Structures are given as C-alpha cells and as structure tokens.
Amino acid sequence: MLETAPHYLVITGGTTGDILPFMRIASALQGLGRKVTFITNTYHARLVQGAGLAFVGLGTDEEYLRVVANPDLWDPKKGFSVLMAHYSDLLQQIDEAIRSICADAPLVAIAHPFAVPGAAIARERGFIKSVVAAYLAPSNLRSCHDPLTIGPTPVPRWVPMSWRRALWRFVEKGWIDPVALAHLNAVRTPLGLPEVDSFLTHIAQAPDLSVTLFPSWFAPTAPDWPQPLISSDFQLFEAAAQEGFTQDLCAFLAAGEKPLVFTAGTGNLHAADFFACALGAVNRLGRRAVFLSRDRAQAPAHLPESVLWQPYVPLSMLLAHAAALVHHGGIGTAAEALRAGVPQLIAPFAWDQFDNGARIASLGVGMVIPAKRLRPGVLAQSLQAFCASEAVQTQCALLASRFSPVHDPADLCTEIERFVQAKRHDARLTKSADHQLTALAGAGRS
C-alpha cells in the first residue's frame, strides 16, 4: 500500500535571520512535490509569500515590532522574559493556525524549539501526526558536555559533571521555568492535557525527531542531546547575483579596497553604540566600511565617504567583497562568513550568540569581544591583528571549502520523511497487533 505524502507545517518565529533557514527547508519540501504551509509572525508574510510558500500568520506587525523595540530583548539576563511575556497567546495562535488548515494528508510539523510545545499540543489533540524539532544553533540544545556556555558564561572544562547538572537545574528553576511554565500550562490545563514541570525537558522530549541545522564539524553531537537526531548542515539563503546591491553599493565596492562589514543583526534596533564604536575603529585604521542596519538612526548621523550605510544586503553576496565581518554572532551570519572565507570578529549581545562566538574562535577564524566591552581602540587593534594573520586566512579558506559542493536540503527533507513514514508504519503495526490481541482475548472469554 502506497504511503500518502505528508502535508508539512513549518512553524517558526524570530527575525529574518531565523526565518530564512526554515524557508529553505520549506522550499526544498515544495520542490519535492510536498504540500507545505509556513506558519510564522505576520510581519514576515511578504518575505515568505515572495518565495512562493503558502503562509499563515501569527499575531500582528505591531506585536512583533513591540517585542523587537524592547531593549531588554538583547540583554542576556532579561531577554528570555521579554520573549515569553505573551507566550500563552503565541501557543494559542499556533493552535488556531494548525486547526485552520484543511488537510487531506497527515500533518507533520517542523518546528523551532519555542514552537515545539504548540505543535505537541496539536499532536496530543490528534490534529497532527508527528513533530520534528529543528535547531538553528548548538546552544538551543541543552547539554552538560563541553564546550558548555550558558548565556555569557563559559563553563571551564574542569567543572565536574555533577556541578554542571546542578548549574542547569539552578538556571531552569530560577530563571526559565518561572517564566515559561505558567504560560505553557495555562494553555494545556483548560484542554485537559497534563501539566509540564520542566520547559527545557519538554522541548527535548516532546518531538518525535530532532534535527540540527548546523554540521557536526561546527558542533559534534553531544551525548545528552535528544534522540533520535539527524545531524544536518547550515541551511543558507541563496541570493541571486548582486540581488539587493544598490547603485551606491556597487560604486562603493568598485572604488577601493575591500571594506570591513559591520552588522548587529536584522532584528536588533538597539545597536547605536555598536555602530558608533565601529566608526571610531575604522577611522583609527583608515579603513573602508559598510554598515548594515535596517534603521538608519542606529548608525552615526554623519558618515565619512569611506563608510557606506545600507539597510540590507544579502551576506551571501556581499561577503565576497569584504575583508572581514564584525557582527553579533547570529548563527546564520556566522555561517555566511564561514562560507565566504572571511575572518569574523563577534560582539555577542544575548541568546546563542556567545556560544556561536566561542565556537567560531575555537575554529581559528575569528575572535570574540562581548558587545558590552566593545571600545573603538580595542576593536581597531583586534581587527588589525587578526585581519593580517596568515594563519586566520588559511583556516578561513579551509573551512570555506567545506561548503563546496553546495549542500542540498532535499537530502535532509527526504531523511525526515523516511523517518516519519517509518513511524507511521510502526504505529499501524502496533495498532493492528492490539486489535488482534483484543480479538483473541474476546474469543477466549467466549
């Protein structure tokens, strides 16, 4: 009997950099002839629909912008509370979005970790068949093993495993669960579903399958990561040749030496200090630079001719013309720099950025200066040192070679579907066996 191909629900959230890898997977599934519905913030509707993907929006533009406008979102201690402030509303919106889809095939959710609880609720209520968690960055997976960075704090390798477990319990019970569980259980309890007592444990255990959207050479599988797990690759956006290059940018790139590129991420609206420091550093170095920020007000009002501001340029094209990249440490940005073979100086603000930066540094292709410690003199000195390093350039070229040939996300999609189909087959066998046992028991009683 032929299997019915699933209808995939790709559920995620966040900034543009968080959305693009999920869009690449969704587009690959669609290329395989699968039906796909993309569920994310309404703010990203134009981006997603422009890629030819069916779209269901969550929330409003105003709600999204209210979150990214909060400066505490980029504070390593306060950011989680900001993101979770309306989490119960998000879960209910995910539930409504899933129930709004008229499907004539089994529904399979491929979800960002924060969307996993919503997808799990839908599965428990019988609306979808399987949940696949897709992890953008290594630190999204809780682990006690090295390299271990919790927020901005690196845990030394000599710290015993028992202490590491205790540290995670402290973080969960003192910081994560008090914020997240009330919202999650406020949705689950009225539906008659059992309460969750650990947010991170629920995210790890609820999926039927977990997938890493980064390669094992960047972060090897840790012994305590959830299983079953597929180790995949970076899912990088492919821009058309010079897509998004303005006339000003083309002229600037042609007018002199390769510039330094600075970005604090597509969603960071509180990076004025970052760009002020960048301007001070490039002035000290006498270097050319490109500043990327959607909000012009974040960059200094008066820029010399040697510095060009642009609201957005695909890094997949721009970095081919760059001498180095200075950025916040977002996983997609870091991966684009690895692919382009350019040195990276990472100034992490919050979230996974500290761990990503530490991994880039350990690979020998960059260095880390936390955003709060960034100063023009220190930045200029650091850029001058590592941009001139032959060892860094050699290592950049070596790692860039890992991106050739281009990774095909269709292979990952096929592997996911193979797992989902096998799970459905096993479930039918189990159900059939249960029916047979019931029939035999009834015959014995008669």
- Examine the domain organization and report whether 259 and 191 are in the same domain: no
pLDDT at residue 239, as a whole number: 56
Q: Is residue 241 part of a domain?
A: no
Q: Is residue 134 part of a domain?
A: yes
Quick one: what percent of the chain has pLDDT higher than 70? Answer: 93
User: First CA to last CA across the chain, in angstroms?
Assistant: 34
For 37, half-sphere exposure in the C-beta direction (CA atoms, 13 angstrom radius) is: 20
SS3 content of the chain, % helix, strand, coil (to 5): 50, 15, 35
The domain in which residue 40 lies consists of: 7-235+408-441
The stretches in the chain having pLDDT less than 70 are 1-3, 239-244, 425-446
pLDDT at residue 82, as a whole number: 95
Rg (C-alpha) for the chain, rounded Å, is: 23
Residue 311 near residue 299, CB atoms below 8 Å: no
- Examine the domain organization and report whether 316 and 196 are in the same domain: no
- Quick one: CA torsion of 70, 73, 75, 80, rounded to 10 degrees? 140
For the chain, the domain total comes to: 2
- Examine the domain organization and report whether 165 and 136 are in the same domain: yes
Q: Is residue 269 part of a domain?
A: yes
Separation between Cα atoms, residue 420 and residue 422, nearest integer Å: 5
Residue 377 near residue 366, CB atoms below 8 Å: no
Q: Is residue 261 part of a domain?
A: yes
Determine the length of the chain. 446
- Examine the domain organization and report whether 150 and 284 are in the same domain: no
pLDDT at residue 242, as a whole number: 45
Strands 209-212 and 153-155: unpaired
pLDDT at residue 405, as a whole number: 85
Tokens of residue 446, six digits: 């008669």
- Examine the domain organization and report whether 162 and 262 are in the same domain: no
Q: Is residue 446 part of a domain?
A: no
Classify residue 129 by its DSSP letter.
S
Interval 222-246: pLDDT, tens: 999 999 999 999 999 775 544 568 9
- Examine the domain organization and report whether 339 and 296 are in the same domain: yes
- Examine the domain organization and report whether 36 and 96 are in the same domain: yes
**Conformation bin of residue 192: beta by default, left when phi > 0, alpha when psi is -120 to 50:** left
- Examine the domain organization and report whether 156 and 83 are in the same domain: yes
In 253-408, the DSSP E strands lie at: 260-263, 289-292, 307-310, 324-327, 344-346, 366-368
Residue type, 438: T
Q: Which of 33, 57, 25 is nearest to 44 (CA)?
A: 57
- Examine the domain organization and report whether 291 and 430 are in the same domain: no
Q: Is residue 196 part of a domain?
A: yes
> What pTM does this model have?
0.92
Q: Is residue 71 part of a domain?
A: yes
Instruction: Report the sign of the C-alpha dihedral through residues 76, 77, 82, 85, in that order.
Output: positive
Q: Is residue 15 part of a domain?
A: yes
Separation between Cα atoms, residue 278 and residue 380, nearest integer Å: 8
- Examine the domain organization and report whether 415 and 398 are in the same domain: no
pLDDT at residue 159, as a whole number: 97
- In sequence order, the 6+-apart residues with CB closer than 8 A to the CB of 211 are 110, 132, 133, 134, 135, 229, 230, 232, 412, 416
Separation between Cα atoms, residue 36 and residue 444, nearest integer Å: 48
pLDDT at residue 258, as a whole number: 96
Directed axis angle between helix 376-387 and helix 272-285, to 10°?
60
pLDDT at residue 237, as a whole number: 76
- Examine the domain organization and report whether 265 and 361 are in the same domain: yes
pLDDT at residue 387, as a whole number: 85
Residue 265 near residue 330, CB atoms below 8 Å: yes
- Examine the domain organization and report whether 104 and 185 are in the same domain: yes
Directed axis angle between helix 331-340 and helix 390-400, to 10°?
100
pLDDT at residue 241, as a whole number: 46
Interval 394-430: pLDDT, tens: 999 999 999 988 888 999 999 999 999 998 766 555 5
pLDDT at residue 186, as a whole number: 97
Tokens of residue 330, six digits: 């977002």
Tokens of residue 409, six digits: 């996300």
What CATH number should be reported for the domain holding residue 309?
3.40.50.2000
